[in-house]
């Protein structure tokens, strides 16, 4: 099993290219099930989750062609992938596939909309919380679907003539359920109005792509999304938006390690709240053409309190990284997690590096220390794993992060990007 070795104490200086967003690419790929024409996606990142979804879509009958690989001088690359689903070969999403990646459950929306029926495995829990599918079931039921849970699967059936547009308001914000209802509603009869919808940029990106395919969606990016159903969708060509979580992660890495880093191919508009918290911590965050420049001052990190909230609030996916930054602050900060009930598993691993963190329910009290010291640590989930890398960059000596397959799910060529900015980071294969 691969590990990552980090020798801390090196400031970061240079350019880090930002990849396409995983959280946008996955629903966009699933949207290919809605049309018999070809959907072409540009700027698709090379990640373990993307590769797994390619296998899942192939199981449903999607023909996949990868081309357009462009080698850049910085060593990163983007891919263009063509998805063509002339017919749905299989309306069953089996447990052995869905269990490996939760987002694969989202195929339930397009399969139900296009075929009128499907059998999809329940995804189960995960390391950072149960994340139940109740909202998916309630939303599709409101559209007239019959939903039956049998043997760990959801057997779903649309009314004769297809799903029906209606008005449905989520009792709580859910990004995944918003993705699913938006996709399902594109082919529904009548107009669907979704209240308390997720407002993330990835929702907007999906809506923009679907509109290019012939859908009639308005309001994406607000809490009310309206979808006027159409008979069919065509193909389209769409570029995946930049990864705002990767952007925030490298911005926090620069703030913690110190140095001067330009994040290329992204925008401050994607994560205003997180970047404002970073500015309050003492880092300089400057919008530049096609990117963001971050100047970190290492030992002069100010304590900042944050509370995770649905977009446009502070992202839960940057909570662990920001906690890593706060371990070196000059005072006491408080980080409150409101999205997931079990997302502080990185605390005990940061403590192995010398961090002083105590928990009180969903709030972590972080007392900054003058130095961290390298140690062997273990990744527990995707975002927790990269928080350990960030901390390792600023720690004295050597840090070894194990179980880095978590990193491969969401960060493209992380060690290469950091190394090009002066960090000592290498992958060790056992």
Q: What is the pLDDT of residues 391-414, one digit of tens each?
A: 999 999 999 999 888 898 889 999
In this prediction, residue 77 carries a pLDDT of 61
Question: Does 126 participate in catalysis according to the annotation?
Answer: yes
Q: Which of 85, 126, 209, 421 is catalytic?
A: 126
Average pLDDT over residues 346-350: 94
User: At residue 339, does pLDDT exceed 60?
Assistant: yes
User: At residue 327, does pLDDT exceed 90?
Assistant: yes
Average pLDDT over residues 234-242: 98
User: At residue 381, does pLDDT exceed 90?
Assistant: no
User: At residue 128, does pLDDT exceed 90?
Assistant: no
pLDDT digits (tens, 9 = 90+) for 55-90: 999 999 999 999 855 444 444 467 999 999 999 999
Within this chain, do residues 157 and 300 fall inside the same structural domain, yes or no? no
pLDDT digits (tens, 9 = 90+) for 151-185: 989 999 999 999 999 999 999 999 999 999 999 99
Among 162, 197, 228, residue at a domain's last position: 228
In this prediction, residue 1 carries a pLDDT of 79
* CATH for 374: 3.65.10.10
User: At residue 130, does pLDDT exceed 80?
Assistant: no
For the chain, the average pLDDT equals 93
Task: Give domain status of residue 401, yes or no.
Answer: yes
User: At residue 117, does pLDDT exceed 80?
Assistant: yes
Within this chain, do residues 26 and 139 fall inside the same structural domain, yes or no? yes
Write out the DSSP string of 62-115.
-EEEEE-----TTS---EEEEEE-SS-S--EE-HHHHTT-GGGGGGHHHHHHHH
Residues 6+ apart with CB under 8 A from 395: 6, 8, 9, 353, 354, 371, 372, 373, 374, 375
Average pLDDT over residues 7-22: 97
In this prediction, residue 71 carries a pLDDT of 43
Q: Which of residues 130 and 307 earns the better pLDDT score? A: 307
Residues 251, 256, 257, 262, Cα dihedral to 10° = 20
Within this chain, do residues 151 and 281 fall inside the same structural domain, yes or no? no
pLDDT digits (tens, 9 = 90+) for 157-166: 999 999 999 9
Buried b (16+ CB within 10 A) or exposed e, 227-262: bebeeebebbebbbbbbbbbbbbbbbbbbbbbbebb
Is position 34 annotated in a ligand binding site? no
Do the Cβ atoms of 382 and 414 come closer than 8 Å? no
Candidates 23, 18, 11, 22; CA nearest to 72 is 18
In this prediction, residue 125 carries a pLDDT of 44
Is position 193 annotated in a ligand binding site? no
In this prediction, residue 67 carries a pLDDT of 80
Is position 309 annotated in a ligand binding site? no
Domain boundaries, position 358: 3-18+243-428
In this prediction, residue 298 carries a pLDDT of 79
Question: Measured between alpha carbons, how far is 386 from 320 in angstroms, rounded to an integer?
Answer: 8
Task: Give domain status of residue 208, yes or no.
Answer: yes
Within this chain, do residues 299 and 403 fall inside the same structural domain, yes or no? yes
Average pLDDT over residues 31-55: 96
Is position 67 annotated in a ligand binding site? no
Average pLDDT over residues 211-215: 98
Task: Give domain status of residue 319, yes or no.
Answer: yes
Within this chain, do residues 7 and 84 fall inside the same structural domain, yes or no? no
Is position 303 annotated in a ligand binding site? no
- Give how many domains the chain has, as a whole number: 2
User: At residue 376, does pLDDT exceed 70?
Assistant: yes
In this prediction, residue 334 carries a pLDDT of 98
User: At residue 340, does pLDDT exceed 50?
Assistant: yes
The two beta strands, 153-157 and 117-121, are antiparallel
In this prediction, residue 73 carries a pLDDT of 41
Binning pLDDT at 50, 70 and 90, where does residue 120 land? very high
Among 195, 228, 261, residue at a domain's last position: 228
Is position 234 annotated in a ligand binding site? no
User: At residue 229, does pLDDT exceed 50?
Assistant: yes
User: At residue 131, does pLDDT exceed 60?
Assistant: no
pLDDT digits (tens, 9 = 90+) for 104-115: 999 999 999 999
In this prediction, residue 75 carries a pLDDT of 44
């Amino acid at each position: 099993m691969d590990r990552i070795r980090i020798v801390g104490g090196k400031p970061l200086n240079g350019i880090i290219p930002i990849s396409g967003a995983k959280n946008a690419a996955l629903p966009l790929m699933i949207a290919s099930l809605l049309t018999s024409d070809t959907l072409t996606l540009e700027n698709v990142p090379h990640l373990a989750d993307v590769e797994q979804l390619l296998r899942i879509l192939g199981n449903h009958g999607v023909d996949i062609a990868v081309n357009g690989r462009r080698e850049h001088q910085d060593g990163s690359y983007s891919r263009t992938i063509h998805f063509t689903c002339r017919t749905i070969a299989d309306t069953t999403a089996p447990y052995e596939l869905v269990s490996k990646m939760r987002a694969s459950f989202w195929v339930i929306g397009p399969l139900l909309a296009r075929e009128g029926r499907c059998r999809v495995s329940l995804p189960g829990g995960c390391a950072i919380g149960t994340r139940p599918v109740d909202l998916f079931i309630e939303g599709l039921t409101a559209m007239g679907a019959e939903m039956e849970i049998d043997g760990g699967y959801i057997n779903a059936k649309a009314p004769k003539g297809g799903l029906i547009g209606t008005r449905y308001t989520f009792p709580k914000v859910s990004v995944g359920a918003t993705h699913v209802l938006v996709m399902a509603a594109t082919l529904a009869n009548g107009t669907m109005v979704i209240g308390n919808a997720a407002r993330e940029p990835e929702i907007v990106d999906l809506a923009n792509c679907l509109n290019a395919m012939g859908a009639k969606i308005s309001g994406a990016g607000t809490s009310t999304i309206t979808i006027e159903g159409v008979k069919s969708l065509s193909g389209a060509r769409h570029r995946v938006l930049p990864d705002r979580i990767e952007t925030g992660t490298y911005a926090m890495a620069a703030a913690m390690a110190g140095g001067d880093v330009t994040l290329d191919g992204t925008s401050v508009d994607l994560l205003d709240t997180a970047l404002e918290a970073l500015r309050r911590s003492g880092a300089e965050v400057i919008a530049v053409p096609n990117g963001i420049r971050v100047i970190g001052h290492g030992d002069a990190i100010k304590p900042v309190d944050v509370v995770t909230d649905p977009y446009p609030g502070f992202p839960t996916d940057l909570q662990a990284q920001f906690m890593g930054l706060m371990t070196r602050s000059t005072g006491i900060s408080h980080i409150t997690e409101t999205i997931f009930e079990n997302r502080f598993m990185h605390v005990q691993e940061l403590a192995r590096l010398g961090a002083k963190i105590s928990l009180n329910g969903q709030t972590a009290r972080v007392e900054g220390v003058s130095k961290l010291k390298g140690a062997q640590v273990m990744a527990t989930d995707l975002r927790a794993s990269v928080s350990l890398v960030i901390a390792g960059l600023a720690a004295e000596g050597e840090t070894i992060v194990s179980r880095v397959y978590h990193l491969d799910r969401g960060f493209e060529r992380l060690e290469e990007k950091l190394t090009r900015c002066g960090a000592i980071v290498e992958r060790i294969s056992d």
